[in-house]
Amino acid sequence: MSRNYYKKNLRGQSFKDEDLKGANFCKADIRGVDFTNADLTNAELNEAKINGANFCGANLTNAKLDNVICGLKTWWTIFVAIMSLSIISFSAFTASIIISCNFYYFLNTRSIKIPLTFLMSVIYITIFQGYYLSHMKKIPLDYLIYPGVVILIIVGVVIPFIVTMDEPRSESKQIFWTILLFSILVVFVNLYLLNNQYIPPILRRAIGAIFGATLGIIISYQAIIIKDKKFIWIWNFFVYITSLQGTKFHNSNLESTSFVNANLKGSHFSECILKKTNWYGIEKIECSRIQANYLENSKIRDLVITKRIMRNQNYNIILKGLNLDNADLSKADLSKADLSNSTLKNAILKDSNLSETQLDNVDLSGAEITGAIIEKKSIPSTAKVDGLICKYFYPKSNPEQRYPIIGEFTSEEAIKVLQKQSKVVLLFEQDGIDWQAFLQAFENTSMHFKISHENSEKLIQAFERKLDNNFIIRLNVPNNVSKIEFEHKLKEEYKKVIENLKTKYRNVYHQNNINITDNVNMLQITKQLAYPGNVYIHNIVTTGNNIGNESGTIMTGDNIKQTGNFGIGVNKGEIKAEKLTGNINEAQQKNLADAAIEIHELLKQLEKTNPTLTETEKIILASKAADEIRTNPTLKARVIGALKLGGKEAFKEAVDNPLVNILIAIIEGWQEA
């Protein structure tokens, strides 16, 4: 049973290394609590106060931290305040920078409060610095002016100049030169005022403070709000110092963790697992220390927080493992973007560019991609597409061509057109396959995963014999079933059935053990495949009397191609065969019409004694008909002639039986062989 700490005061307690799966810490006060290496899988921490809490190494998979409040330990907040006051004492320049940082960090504001910062800096330096430090403590003013000048030169001149050498074409070049020249001016003004005995001391301090505070505010704005590369180090250093005793997530597992609307001020994220983490609506992320993860990229950070695309920007970058559920990505250019392992449930991707976008293991459940530029079969089988909406799309290869040309796709139709089929490839070594065991295992596995054969796509996709005599079976697996789990379960079931057959049936029913090393034709295999009664076969290619051939024939398309030794008689009847007539003589027309009549009657006769409810049963019946034709040289010649002279489509219409498609595929297999 999971623990319940709802609204409890747990300040300063330790849960180090503890199992807290599913624990309820909602609205609890857990400031300063140690969760180092704790297992908080599926834990609820919504609206909890987690200031100064330590989650280093903790497992927070699927945990909920919505509306939590991060922050600093109380004693560290006091320490930062004292340090800030001591730095303020140097000059109005340093005062305006530190005050700006504190306003932006500790107050719920998106600005640096420029008027208030300016007044506080000037008043503090003019009155408190001059009067309190100089008169009460008898500290010479020179001791404060010179350090202030040195700091100004370093911050306003040396560092930005060095950084600018690395980016000569910076868009902020004009701002840089303005700050640089103003910094030099402020230095000379302060030095002049320091040595001018004709100006009253309070006025000298006031003039110097005005110049210094103005410059400090300009630099603060560039560092904190604009985040200019030349000055942002000031803000980063302030955040680094404060986060030393903030909420720590170093080396923690935050996969699928939710931080919706959380205040992350003072938190520290480094070397974390951030796969599918939900950052929607988070606040004060710029007041947290971010290291070694995708949140360092401002474009990605804005995307996962707002879940809105910035217009006229290309996002063909690495976007792996993001949580973009319910995101509005309409008209987004995601061409060549890597969205692998991301989740986009119910996302809106209308009219977006998804050409060459990597979508491996992406969750597109309920997403809408109507009007998107996307190629057929470009969504991998590993992607989840339940409820995907795509009424129409445009392929990159032909962006002017709408699919479908008329009307709209249903969800099922769109998925069928856009997603690759999930396949399982099973390899059997040279010792062969026990088909009875395989199909029983297949039946057991399908039942285990609750796969409905009637409503699924064709499950057995292909058989293939390789050059080394290894035998391969390719299976289609529904999208809601893990391909790896299905393969593992099927192999496990196969071993179990083999063991059962060894002890129960093999000695009595040896004929049930069909082995590749025996010269077994395709008809025998399809008879065995009929055992479950509802297994669908998509492609079968065989040549000669054995499965496969030495060239390693591979199955393609929807054809079923086979050669072998066939034979039974033929019954004739009546059928219209006008479609077979063409630019041929009367004798040829008669022969072709007779062939169509014989095939029609043959299929009808076989259907009376052979069920054709499933694809497997249809294959078996067509194989029997092929046996009849192959062993009757006259009929065989007439049928092949009819196909050559009249064409496949005319022959199909004349025979008027849906099984003729399979039969023609088999006959074509003879000719190719």
Q: Return the HEC string of 62-123.
A: CCECCCCECCCCHHHHHHHHHHHHHHHCCCHHHHHHHHHHHHHHHCCCCCCCHHHHHHHHHH
Q: What percent of the chain has pLDDT over 70?
A: 73
469 plus 537 within the same structural domain: yes
For the chain, what is the mean pLDDT?
78
Reply yes or no on whether the pLDDT at 466 is more than 80: no
- Which range among 381-385, 433-437, 453-457 shows the weakest confidence by mean pLDDT? 453-457
Q: What is the pLDDT of residue 516?
A: 35
- For residue 348, tell me if it sits in a domain: yes
Reply yes or no on whether the pLDDT at 540 is more than 60: no
> Which distant-in-sequence residues (6+ apart) come within 8 Å of 597 by Cβ?
572, 573, 574, 575, 577
- Looking at beta carbons, which pairs linking 105-112 to residues 24 or more positions away fall under 8 Å? 105/238, 105/239, 105/242, 105/265, 105/287, 111/225, 112/217, 112/220, 112/221, 112/224, 112/225
**How, if at all, do strands 422-428 and 471-477 pair?**
antiparallel
Band (pLDDT 50/70/90 cuts) for residue 108 is confident
Domain that holds residue 275: 1-73+245-296
441 plus 378 within the same structural domain: no
105 plus 178 within the same structural domain: yes
Band (pLDDT 50/70/90 cuts) for residue 235 is very high
441 plus 550 within the same structural domain: yes
The number of beta carbons lying within 10 Å of the beta carbon of residue 76 is 19
Band (pLDDT 50/70/90 cuts) for residue 349 is very high
d(CA 507, CA 151): 94
440 plus 335 within the same structural domain: no
Q: What is the pLDDT of residue 229?
A: 80
In tens, the pLDDT along 597-606 reads: 888 888 888 8
- Which range among 44-58, 85-99, 563-577 shows the weakest confidence by mean pLDDT? 563-577
Q: What is the pLDDT of residue 580?
A: 47
Band (pLDDT 50/70/90 cuts) for residue 11 is very high
- For residue 287, tell me if it sits in a domain: yes
pLDDT higher for 672 or 20?
A: 20
Decide if 101 contacts 235 (C-beta within 8 A): yes
Band (pLDDT 50/70/90 cuts) for residue 455 is very low
Reply yes or no on whether the pLDDT at 75 is more than 70: yes
d(CA 588, CA 643): 12
- Residue 318 is classified by DSSP as B
Among the candidates 420, 451, 466, a domain finishes at: 420
Reply yes or no on whether the pLDDT at 200 is more than 70: yes
Task: State the virtual CA torsion across 580, 582, 584, 589 in degrees, nearest 10.
Answer: 30
4 plus 67 within the same structural domain: yes
Among the candidates 530, 561, 592, a domain finishes at: 561
Q: What is the pLDDT of residue 454?
A: 54
467 plus 540 within the same structural domain: yes
- For residue 346, tell me if it sits in a domain: yes
- The CATH number linked to 405 is 2.160.20.80
Q: What is the pLDDT of residue 171?
A: 55
Reply yes or no on whether the pLDDT at 412 is more than 80: yes
Band (pLDDT 50/70/90 cuts) for residue 505 is very low
- For residue 589, tell me if it sits in a domain: yes
Reply yes or no on whether the pLDDT at 324 is more than 70: yes
215 plus 97 within the same structural domain: yes
- For residue 543, tell me if it sits in a domain: yes
- Average of per-residue pLDDT across 372-389: 91
d(CA 605, CA 466): 37
Q: What is the pLDDT of residue 646?
A: 65
- Average of per-residue pLDDT across 569-582: 40
198 plus 83 within the same structural domain: yes
Q: What is the pLDDT of residue 130?
A: 61
**How, if at all, do strands 560-561 and 537-541 pair?**
parallel
- Which range among 198-202, 308-312, 475-479, 517-521 shows the weakest confidence by mean pLDDT? 517-521
- Which range among 255-259, 426-430, 511-515, 544-548 shows the weakest confidence by mean pLDDT? 544-548
Band (pLDDT 50/70/90 cuts) for residue 440 is confident
Reply yes or no on whether the pLDDT at 129 is more than 50: yes
- For residue 277, tell me if it sits in a domain: yes
Query: Which SS3 state, helix, strand or coil, does residue 176 take?
Result: helix
Reply yes or no on whether the pLDDT at 107 is more than 50: yes
Q: Can you state the angle between helices 74-88 and 92-106, rounded to 10 degrees?
A: 160
Residue with tokens 């962006």: 399
d(CA 508, CA 520): 20
Reply yes or no on whether the pLDDT at 227 is more than 70: yes
- For residue 614, tell me if it sits in a domain: yes
Q: Can you state the angle between helices 522-529 and 435-448, rounded to 10 degrees?
A: 30
Band (pLDDT 50/70/90 cuts) for residue 471 is low
Reply yes or no on whether the pLDDT at 367 is more than 80: yes
Residue 230 dihedral angles phi and psi, to the nearest 5°: -75, -20
Q: How many domains does the chain have?
A: 5
Residue 158 dihedral angles phi and psi, to the nearest 5°: -65, -55
Q: What is the pLDDT of residue 169?
A: 53
Q: What is the pTM of this model?
A: 0.65
Band (pLDDT 50/70/90 cuts) for residue 123 is confident
Q: What is the pLDDT of residue 427?
A: 67
81 plus 158 within the same structural domain: yes
Residue 96 dihedral angles phi and psi, to the nearest 5°: -65, -35
Among the candidates 394, 420, 446, a domain finishes at: 420
Q: What is the pLDDT of residue 596?
A: 79
d(CA 145, CA 219): 19
- Which range among 191-195, 303-307, 469-473 shows the weakest confidence by mean pLDDT? 469-473
Q: What is the pLDDT of residue 461?
A: 62
- Which range among 109-118, 216-225, 644-653 shows the weakest confidence by mean pLDDT? 644-653
